[in-house]
Amino acid sequence: MNEDKEFLGTEPIGKLLLRLALPTLAAQIINMLYNIVDRIYIGHIPHVGAAALTGVGVCMPLIMIVSAFAALVGYGGSPRASIYLGKKDVESAEKILGNCFTMQILVSLILTAVLIIWNRDLLLAFGASENTIPYANSYMNLYALGTLFVELTLGMNAFITTQGFAKTGMYSVLIGAVANIILDPVFIFLLGMGVRGAALATILSQALSCIWVVSFLCGKKTFIRIRKENLKLIPKVILPCLALGSATFIMQASESVISVCFNSSLQKYGGDMAVGAMTILTSVMQFAMLPLQGFGQGAQPIMSYNYGAKNVKRVKAAFLLLLKISMIYAVILWGCVMFFPQIFAGIFTTDTALVAFTAKALRVYLAVMFLFGIQISCQMAFNSLGRAVESIIVAVVRKFVLLIPLIYIIPQIFRADQTTAVYMAEPVADLIAVTFTAILFSVRFKKALRAI
């Protein structure tokens, strides 16, 4: 078993990153489709598509929170498991896996109860209007029932990819995405279920992915597997995982808080049109970020394993290659958005007024997207080396220290067009955050490598 893992410490970095990142990248792109395909279909529902799209967009903060809790456990535990594999300590790696599996189930049960009891109140607080709350409430009532499947699929799949089983991790996402793409039009249009059909298609698809993930981690092909004796929660095992995962949790959960801040401000200054545009902007942002995260997750097992094996040269080589690829991707996509924003907007709606409004907003909202490669590469490296404090600092500064205050400050400065001013908060915050992250990383990364 240990010898099977040696390829992470011996295979050429470029070839290895390609081998791990391509399936992971494919999984992220598929996952992106998984997340936005509902919105594409919903936006094209005859007569009510624009209002339904806005209503489902208001659900995004709650959906982001569900995903964030999966990341708290999965992306906190999986790098630590990989580091222990680098140290040839399979027993400790399996204890982490078992504890994280139990924690995901507990979190799922709590989230399900919260979403079923309070989802309407939360949706109204998150920016739903009288016109859009029926669509938002219909979607979340069903989506809440599939929380367990979402948590286990997203959280436990991280333990598959961190072992180097990138293709298996891709299949986990592919199974659900294909099922969702097939079931969506059947439930939405053929059976006439509308947004409820989109939610039902999503939870059934996630259930299929969940069965695949759990079956693999209990089977014979995995290097570490879920064992009954490791399911009891042990504080010294699970707490360091939650500490490391808190950075990713803050990043993803803060997207929910930020979405609420954006929606409330945009509703005030621009009404349902501006909130509907924000739904599309969020989707395009996912298009930008998920492939970057795919590159990062492909590099994570290499950096984590070799950090555990004390191979400084390979850790540095993996990071530099990740940085180069991420920067190239970010610049190319930024160019596409700047030159052809109407194409991205038109994917989600046929409403000409909404397309025109969103095309203008996209150029503002993603003005510094070409810098995202630096931000994501540094954050992923911090996480791969188990540097929880630095990961948390980077996440908190970008979201809470910068972006949230700017959403309210900039419209007070640029009063001529306050709706556009709200969108401006994103690029201003990103520019400052990338600068801060690069400086912090240049200092702490060197210190972490010297320590081994």
Q: Residues 19-28: what's their mean pLDDT?
A: 75
* CB contact at 8 A, 310 and 17: no
| 263-315 per-position pLDDT tens digit | 889 988 988 889 888 888 887 887 778 788 888 888 888 898 888 888 888 99
* CB contact at 8 A, 301 and 82: yes
* CB contact at 8 A, 261 and 62: no
CA distances from residue 382 to 266, 305, 402 in whole angstroms, order as listed: 34, 14, 20
Best-predicted range by mean pLDDT among 44-48, 111-115, 164-168?
Answer: 111-115
The structure tokens 């699970």 sit at 238
Q: Residues 327-343: what's their mean pLDDT?
A: 93
The rounded radius of gyration (Å) of the Cα atoms in the chain is 21
Query: In this model, does residue 323 exceed pLDDT 90?
Result: yes
Paired tokens of 69: 């809790």
Residue type, 443: V
* CB contact at 8 A, 216 and 161: no
* CB contact at 8 A, 312 and 7: no
Paired tokens of 4: 């099977």
Cα 81–chain centre separation? 20
Q: Residue 435: how many CB atoms within 10 A of its CB?
A: 13
Tell me the helix, strand and coil percentages in the chain, rounded to 5. Answer: 85, 0, 15
Question: What's the angle, vertex CA 282, arms to CA 279 and CA 285, rounded to 5?
Answer: 155
Which residues, 6+ apart, have CB-to-CB distance to 224 below 8 Å? 81, 85, 90, 93, 94, 97, 159, 163, 217
Q: What is the pLDDT of residue 2?
A: 40
Q: What is the pLDDT of residue 405?
A: 95
385: left (phi over 0), alpha (psi -120 to 50) or beta: alpha
Paired tokens of 407: 């959403």
* CB contact at 8 A, 315 and 93: no
Spell 226-260 as b/e; 16+ CB within 10 A means b.
beeebeeeeeebbebbbbbbbbbbbbbbbbbbbbb
Q: What is the pLDDT of residue 32?
A: 66
* CB contact at 8 A, 25 and 291: yes
Q: How confident is the model at residue 4 (pLDDT cuts 50, 70, 90)?
A: low
